Structure 1
Amino acid sequence: MTSVRHIPDSRDAYLDAARACILDVGWRRTTLTEVARRAGVSRMTIYRTWPDMKTLLGDLMTREWTAVVAARPPGDDLPATVVATVRALRGNELFVRIVELDPELLLPYLLARRGRSQDLVLDLLVDRIEQGQATGEVRSGDPLAIARALVLGAHGFVLSAHTMVDDRVSEADLDTELAALVTRALAP
């Protein structure tokens, strides 16, 4: 499979069409035929690129979440970067639509395996943790294990924060607590 980071422009247009379909009707009601129609190409063009909707969705989610993560400024301190990324994912239009209509699509990435986007996040976190360890700003320890623990913790803040928000605790309050958790987890 071609790396998502090297998708030709036509594939981006097809992914844009798939994104629009999913936003309109959800993943279950989106077909490769409808993606082809919206992209203005033949069904065979789409079928030659993706054998099924699951594969197309994997590439779409990887492109989408990679863009969200890449948009975080590398100069920010790590806790602020984690909170900003979590907040951006929670507000991402495609992510919100999937959670609303087809949340089961996310279960494999929570219960069975890591996805490409999660691996990208881990790579970025490991780099930042190693940099922090080199300057003494981050505690010693296996950078990969620390990064994986941070991602596991962030999952709840991305997927379930809304279940903890009410008239006593706001989403901003939870983000403040996430920053405190990350800060304490990394403190030397």
Structure 2
Amino acid sequence: MTSHRHNSDPRDTYLDAARECILDVGWRRTTLTEVARRAGVSRMTIYRAWSDMPALLGDLMTREWGTLVASGVDVKQAGSEATDADVAASPTPDAIADAVVSTVNALRENELFTRIVELDPELILPYLLARRGRSQELILQVLSDAIAAGQAAGLITDGLPQAVARGLVLAAHGFVLSAHTMVDDVVDQSALDDELHALISRSLAP
């Protein structure tokens, strides 16, 4: 099991305990009382941080997925007076495609995400059918900034960056959650990842 210990904030210790509990027994059997026991603190300490398990899960997922997104596209804003060096450093369609495919793979391989999908898939449904979560907002912001920077450098096709980013995220959802249903003796996972990369890079090309 991968260690996700954090030391900067006591809440991180509590989130670590919740993460371990969900990995061990699943969401439905994880309680704030059990989180407190694993964290070595009183139940009231946990209740002061989160009123219920959904609130705790929201913070846990934001931390978990946010860490993955933080290693995504490195945005360099290229303004109207961008130098050749600025343009060279701006996100290209291929760079954004690389980042999206990498993030999709990281999510598919993340042990917490995998455990939730296996045991408690209903936790994911609200973020697919009803609303955007904080992690999705973070992903959209990173992508929008990267797309805008690429557009300013003339490397990415025109279009409202926020709309383009949302289109990419909607496409990526299927590759995160359903790619395994399309893998067989004819098409393997890497072939699907190549198709996602091509889909993104072609759609962003000027």
Tell me, yes or no, whether TM beats 0.5: yes
With the length of structure 1 as denominator, give the TM-score of the two structures: 0.94
- Whether 2:96 is the aligned partner of 1:81: answer no
- The equivalent of 1:98 in structure 2 is 116
- The equivalent of 2:77 in structure 1 is none
- The equivalent of 2:142 in structure 1 is 124
Quick one: distance in 2 between partners of 1:147 and 1:140?
A: 12
- The equivalent of 1:157 in structure 2 is 175
2:29 aligns to what SS in structure 1? coil
Quick one: distance in 2 between partners of 1:11 and 1:94?
A: 18
Specify the code of the residue in structure 1 equivalent to 2:138.
L
1:50 to partner: Cα distance = 0.5
- The equivalent of 1:32 in structure 2 is 32
- The equivalent of 1:12 in structure 2 is 12
Give me the CA root mean square deviation: 1.4
Unaligned segments of structure 2, at least 5 residues: 1-6, 75-88
Quick one: distance in 1 between partners of 2:161 and 2:56?
A: 32
1:137 to partner: Cα distance = 1.1
1:8 to partner: Cα distance = 6.0
- Which entry has the higher C-alpha Rg, 1 or 2? 2
Quick one: distance in 2 between partners of 1:107 and 1:80?
A: 26
Q: Which of 113, 117, 120 lines up with 2:131 in the alignment?
A: 113
Q: Is the 2:180–2:189 contact (alpha carbons within 8 Å) kept by the matching residues of 1? A: yes
Q: Which of 133, 136, 147 lines up with 2:165 in the alignment?
A: 147
Specify the code of the residue in structure 1 equivalent to 2:168.
L
* Larger CA deviation: 111-120 vs 74-83: 74-83
Quick one: distance in 1 between partners of 2:62 and 2:119?
A: 19
Q: Percent identity?
A: 69
Quick one: distance in 1 between partners of 2:171 and 2:201?
A: 13
Which has more helix, going by share of residues? 1
Specify the code of the residue in structure 1 equivalent to 2:137.
D
- CA deviations over 1:89-128 (Å, ceiling 9, x no partner): 1000100000010011000000000000000000000100
Q: Is the 2:32–2:53 contact (alpha carbons within 8 Å) kept by the matching residues of 1? A: yes
Alignment: residue pair count: 182
- CA deviations over 1:129-175 (Å, ceiling 9, x no partner): 00110111110010000000000000000011111111111110000
Q: Which runs of 4+ in 1 moved over 4 A?
A: none
1:44 aligns to what SS in structure 2? helix
2:124 aligns to what SS in structure 1? helix
Quick one: distance in 1 between partners of 2:35 and 2:13?
A: 10
Specify the code of the residue in structure 2 equivalent to 1:17.
A
Q: Is the 2:15–2:60 contact (alpha carbons within 8 Å) kept by the matching residues of 1? A: yes
- The equivalent of 1:187 in structure 2 is 205
Q: Structure 2 matches for 1:45-84, cutoff 5 A?
A: 45-72=45-72, 74=74, 77-84=95-102
Unaligned segments of structure 1, at least 5 residues: 1-6
Specify the code of the residue in structure 2 equivalent to 1:16.
D
With the length of structure 2 as denominator, give the TM-score of the two structures: 0.86
